[in-house]
Chain A
Amino acid sequence: MVLEHLIDISLLVFLAVISVALLRIKDLFAAVMIFGIYSLTSASLFMVLAAADVAFTEAAVGAGISTILMLATLSITGREEKTIERKFKLLPLLIVSITGAVLLYGIRDLPPFGDAGNPAQVHVAPRYIEQSPVETDVPNIVTSVLASYRGFDTLGEVVVIFTAGLGVALIIGRRRRLPSKKEASSHE
C-alpha cells in the first residue's frame, strides 16, 4: 500500500502549500476561494484515507457552505484586507515555533501510520464492525454508529447547530431593524 501513502503525502504537501498561500494573500476574496480549494483537497485526502462519509461531508459542508457564508460576509464587509506596512512581528512567530517544536517532540510517541495493531484499532471499533450488521442491519457502519450507538452524541450535535443558528439569527436579526428605524426617523 505504498502507493496510497504516496498519494496521501502528496495531497498533504498540496495542503501545506495552499496554507502558505492563504497566509500570504491580501485579497480576501481570493483567500476565500483558496480556502475552498483547501477544503476540496482535504475532502480528497479523506477519500484516500478510506473515510468516504467524511469526504462527502467536507466537500458539501466545508467546501460548499463555509465558502458561501464567507462570500456573503465579504459582500457586506468588503474584500480588501487593509495593507499595513508589514512590520515584522516576532511574537506570533515565536509562539508558533515553540508550540510546533513541542508538538514535533510529541510525534515520537504516536503509533505508526496505518498499522492494524494500533491501540485505536483494537478496543471499541472491532465491536462495532462485528456487531453492527447483527444489531442494526445497516450496511454502513458509520451510519449505524452515528445514529444508533452514539445517538446521544448526534443529538448533542443537533443542539449545538440549533444554538448556533439561534445565535446567528439573534446577532444578524437586529441588523434588519436598525436601518429601518433610521429610515423611519429620516422620513419624519
Chain B
Amino acid sequence: MSGLGIWNYVIFIFLMMAGLYMVISSTNLVKKIIGLNVFQTSVFFMYISFGYIDGGAGPVLAEGVTLYSNPLPHVLILTAIVVGVATTAVGLALTIRIKESFGSIEEDDLHKMDPSI
C-alpha cells in the first residue's frame, strides 16, 4: 500500500486509542461517555473510507455519472450513528441517576462510598 491511504488508517487507530484511553483512564463518567463516542466515530470513519472510490460521486443517481461510491457502508453507518446517540442518551441518564443517588459522578468517590462498584 502506498500514498496517503495508509495514514488514513493510522489516524483511525490513533482516534480509536484516544477514545479507549479516555474510557479507561478518566474518572468522570461524562468524560467516559465522550470517550466512548470518540471511539465509535473512528469506526464510522473506517467504514466510510472503505466505501470511498477515487473520483466516485455520492450515491445519488445523476445523468452522466458512471462511478458511484459504495452506498452500503453509508447505510450501515447511518444506522450506527443513530444507535450511538441512543446509547449515549441511556448512559447520560444513568449518570444523572448516579449523581442523584450518590452525589458524585467521579469514579473514585463512588468506589470509596461503595467498594463493590
Q: Which residues of A contact B (CB under 8 A)?
A: 1-2, 4-6, 8-9, 12-13, 15-16, 19-20, 22-23, 28, 31-32, 35, 38-39, 42, 45-46, 49-54, 57-58, 61-62, 65-66, 69-70, 72-74, 76-77, 81-82, 84, 89, 92-93, 95-97, 99-100, 103-104, 107-108, 110-116, 118, 120-121, 124-125, 128-129, 132-133, 139-142, 145-146, 150, 153-154, 157, 160-161, 163-165, 167-168, 171-172, 174-175, 178
Does chain A have a CB within 8 A of B117?
Answer: no
Chain B residues lying within 8 Å of A89, measured Cβ to Cβ, are 25
Which A residue's beta carbon lies closest to that of B11? A12
| A8: contacting residue among B8, B25, B83, CB under 8 A | B8
10 A-B pairs with the lowest CB-CB distances in the bound complex, closest first: A113-B5, A164-B86, A114-B54, A19-B18, A92-B25, A141-B59, A92-B24, A12-B11, A141-B71, A171-B93
What band does the interface of chain B fall in when counting residues whose beta carbon is under 8 Å from A?
35 or more
A46 to B99, CA, bound (A): 36
Q: What are 28 A-B contacts with C-beta separation under 8 Å?
A: A5-B4, A5-B5, A8-B8, A13-B11, A31-B34, A49-B48, A51-B69, A51-B74, A61-B81, A66-B85, A69-B89, A70-B34, A73-B95, A74-B30, A82-B27, A100-B14, A108-B1, A110-B1, A113-B6, A113-B9, A141-B68, A145-B75, A161-B83, A164-B86, A168-B90, A171-B93, A175-B100, A178-B100
